[in-house]
Amino acid sequence: MSASDPVPAGDPVVGIVMGSDSDWPVMREAAAALQEFGIAYEADVVSAHRMPDEMIAYGHGAAGRGLRVVIAGAGGAAHLPGMLASVTPLPVIGVPVPLRYLDGMDSLLSIVQMPVGVPVATVSIGGARNAGLLAARIIGSGSDDLAADVREQMLTFQSDLRDQAHAKGA
Ligand code: RP5
C-alpha cells in the first residue's frame, strides 16, 4: 500500500481500513477525496478474517484516538465494515471491493445487509470516492469552513455533470 500524495498534516480524523493490500487500488480513491479537502486520515490493513484481534482492537480504540469516521473496504465475504460498526460508535462507511468472481455482488451484499442496530453506510461497488466525500460531509457538518468547501465541490461537480449531459446531446 502506498499513496503518492502526502497525507494532510494533523491528527487523523478518518480511518481508512481494508482487508488486504490488494484493496488499496480501490480504496485510494477515498484517500484522494479526503486529500482534496485537507482532511487528515490514516490508512491501514485490518482484516476481519486474518487478524480479528487487531480488527476488534482497532474498532474499540478508534473514537478514543480522535477518529470521527471509519471507512472500511473489503471484498468477498466482506465482514470488516459490519464488525467494526459493532464495536465503535463512530459512523462506518462500507466500500464493497469487487473481486475476480461475482463482480463485487458478494462484497455488496455482505456489507449492506446489516441487522437493525448495527448501521453501516454502504456505498456502491468500488465506490470509494463517494465514501471519502461522505466522510467529508459528515465531518463538514460540524465545521462551517469545511461545509463551505464541501458545498463548493458539490456545485462544481454538478456543473461538470450538466456540461457532460449537454455534450451527450450535441
Ligand atoms: C478480503 O479478501 C480483502 O478485503 C480482499 O478484498 C480479498 C482478497 O484479499 P487478498 O487475497 O488479495 O489478500 O478479505
Q: Measure the CA–CA gap between 62 and 53, rounded to whole angstroms.
A: 14
- The answer to whether residue 2 is domain-embedded is no
User: Which residues form the domain of 84?
Assistant: 14-169
- The answer to whether residue 52 is domain-embedded is yes
- Of 82, 103, 106, the C-alpha closest to 93 is 82
- Of 29, 25, 79, 76, the C-alpha closest to 51 is 79
In the structure grid, which three cell numbers stand for residue 21, read together? 493490500
pLDDT digits (tens, 9 = 90+) for 83-110: 999 999 999 999 999 999 999 999 999 9
- Would you say 23 is a known binding-site residue? yes
pLDDT digits (tens, 9 = 90+) for 109-149: 999 999 999 999 999 999 999 999 999 999 999 888 999 99
- The answer to whether residue 111 is domain-embedded is yes
CATH code for the domain in which residue 150 is found: 3.40.50.1970
- The answer to whether residue 8 is domain-embedded is no
How many domains is the chain built from? 1
- The answer to whether residue 55 is domain-embedded is yes
Q: Is 50 helix (H, G, I), strand (E, B) or coil?
A: coil
The interface pTM score, or ipTM, of the predicted complex is 0.95
Whether the full predicted model's pTM is greater than 0.90, yes or no, is yes
Residue nearest to atom 5 of ligand 1 (CA): 75
Asked if residue 81 has its Cβ within 6 Å of ligand 1, the reply is no
- The answer to whether residue 153 is domain-embedded is yes
Residue 4: is its pLDDT beyond 60?
no
Q: Measure the CA–CA gap between 76 and 108, rounded to whole angstroms.
A: 9
- Would you say 50 is a known binding-site residue? yes
Asked if residue 110 has its Cβ within 6 Å of ligand 1, the reply is no
* pLDDT for 120: 98
Q: Measure the CA–CA gap between 132 and 130, rounded to whole angstroms.
A: 5
* pLDDT for 143: 87
- Of 33, 29, 38, the C-alpha closest to 7 is 38
Asked if residue 106 has its Cβ within 6 Å of ligand 1, the reply is no
